[in-house]
Amino acid sequence: MKDPLVCDKLNSWLIQADRTTSFIDAHRKTFNEWSPLKFYITLGSKDAFSIRCKGQEIAQLRFIAGRPTVFISDAQTKSNLRNFKFSPKCNKFQWVSDEGAAFRKHFSNALKQSHFHVHSEEHRIESEIISSLTSRSKPSCSSLRNRTAVTLCDFPLQFPVPFSASKGTIGKTNGHIDILGRRPGGVLSVWELKKPDLCGSAPRQAYIYALQIYFMIYDPHMGKKWLELFGFGRESQTVRIEIVLGLSNSQNGKAMAGITKIRDEMKLDGIDSLFSWHIANYSIAHDMHTMSINKVP
């Protein structure tokens, strides 16, 4: 947090969050989100929204002269053809238009007829969990009840961090937290997900991100603004951080070994009680309803 470049990035993201909130409030009546497509907000991006289907980014939504406009990059054109058999007539069109209607209809039909390929199992799982955490109805999975995702203007917020940690070490490029959530009692949840039968460096990666969030929310100058953005309001509140590892249960042993090693290091630093740890086991059979979340003793 004391690195000037890190501080500059974090401050710019706070400013962007304020501007994005004002912008969406002013333009909310000009667009609607149509299922199965989902809008995500990513701080640090020039786009108003990332448009996703089954967790895959398929386009961006920007506002041109106040009108919501879809932009599909060359890379997205290739992946959309491969994963959803979609080839657009043009790569830029208004969201509310004949082209926009055809765009939405194609992805809806592709999912109904199972004519799609999941490029990233991790992104699909992330999408399913976020859908449950942001649903207005009670999640069918009891483990996800009383939990919610951090949102901005009611849209899922893909929260960046000023460095990457995908390999368990700090890198120079920006990273992002898979899911940032919260639950009653002043608990902020940092989720790190991995595809089935993979643990990798998930414990270390989640720990690095959680430590960064800790420094942010307890920063004497900007901490209250971050807490407000994360949905904890302006009132003084002690917020605890929990780390949630989303894994298939075949990886629990590796996860526990990683957690134990990190805890031993934290004891040496006198910060072993800083975070609580949880393992969220999902079903490989594409069923989030049976997810179980258990606290690590």
Number of domains in the chain: 2
Mean pLDDT over residues 63-74, rounded?
93
> What does the pLDDT look like over 39-51, one tens digit per residue?
999 887 776 899 9
Mind giving me the DSSP string for 76-90? HHHHHHHHH----S-
Identity (one letter) of the amino acid at 40? Y
The answer to whether residues 191 and 113 belong to one domain is no
Q: Is 187 inside a domain boundary?
A: yes
The predicted structure's pLDDT at residue 5: 81
- Report the phi/psi class of residue 184: left, alpha or beta, with left for phi > 0 and alpha for psi in -120 to 50: beta
Q: Which residue has the higher pLDDT, 49 or 272?
A: 49
What is the band of 277 on the pLDDT scale with cuts at 50, 70, 90?
Answer: very high
Count of alpha carbons within 13 angstroms of residue 93, beta-carbon side: 14
Residue ending a domain, among 119, 139, 158, is 119
Residue 228, pLDDT > 80, answer yes
Decide if 155 is inside a domain. Answer: yes
User: What distance in Å separates the CA atoms of residue 61 and residue 123, rounded to the nearest whole number?
Assistant: 19
Residue 9, domain member (yes or no): no
Q: Which of 66, 86, 119 is the last residue of a domain?
A: 119
- Is the model more confident about 76 or about 89? 76
DSSP-derived pairing of the beta strands 175-176 and 160-161? antiparallel
Gap between the Cα atoms of 80 and 57, Å rounded: 9
Same domain, 289 and 233: yes
CA angle (103 as vertex; 51, 149 as ends), nearest 5: 25
Sign of CA dihedral 188, 192, 197, 199: negative
| d(C-alpha 124, C-alpha 55), whole Å | 5
- What pLDDT score does 295 carry? 96
Write down the pLDDT at residue 260.
96
- Quick one: tokens of 152? 């901005």
pTM, entire model: 0.92
Last residue of a domain, one of 92, 119, 146: 119
Whether 90 and 173 map to the same domain: the answer is no
- Residue 2 — pLDDT band, cuts 50, 70, 90? low
Q: Is pLDDT at 100 greater than 70 in this prediction?
A: yes
Same domain? For 109 and 172 the reply is no
Question: Is 283 in the same domain as 229?
Answer: yes
Same domain, 103 and 205: no
- Spatial neighbors of 137 by CB under 8 A, at least 6 apart, are none
| Residues 88, 102 share a domain | yes
In whole numbers, what is the pLDDT of the chain averaged over residues? 89
Other CB atoms within 10 A of residue 195 CB: 16
Do residues 156 and 288 both lie within one domain? yes
Q: Which residues contact 243 (CB under 8 A, 6 or more apart)?
A: 189, 190, 192, 203, 206, 207, 210, 275, 276, 277, 278
In this structure, the answer to whether residues 147 and 240 fall within a common structural domain is yes
Instruction: Please check whether residue 21 lies inside any domain of the structure.
Output: no
pLDDT in tens, 280-291: 998 765 566 678
116 CB neighbour count, 10 Å cutoff: 19
24 lies in some domain? no
| Domain contains 14 | no
Do 132 and 148 form a contact (C-beta atoms < 8 A)?
Answer: no
Picking from 190, 185, 208, the residue whose alpha carbon sits closest to that of residue 262 is 208
One-letter-per-residue 3-state SS of 99-115: HHHHHHHHHHHHHHCCC
CA distance 202 to 187: 20
Residue 151 lies inside a defined structural domain of this protein: yes
Q: Are 134 and 282 contacting, i.e. CB atoms less than 8 angstroms apart? A: no
212 within some domain = yes
Are 106 and 186 in the same domain?
no
94 and 148 housed in the same domain:
no
Q: Residue 84 sits in which domain range?
A: 56-119
Residues 260 and 126 reside in one and the same domain: yes
What's the pLDDT tens digit per position in 161-206? Answer: 888 888 888 888 888 999 999 999 999 999 999 999 999 999 999 9
- pLDDT tens for residues 130-160? 998 998 887 778 888 899 999 999 999 989 8
CB proximity list for 189: less than 8 A, separation 6 or greater: 147, 179, 180, 181, 182, 183, 241, 242, 243, 244
Output the six-digit token pair for 200. Answer: 């990798």
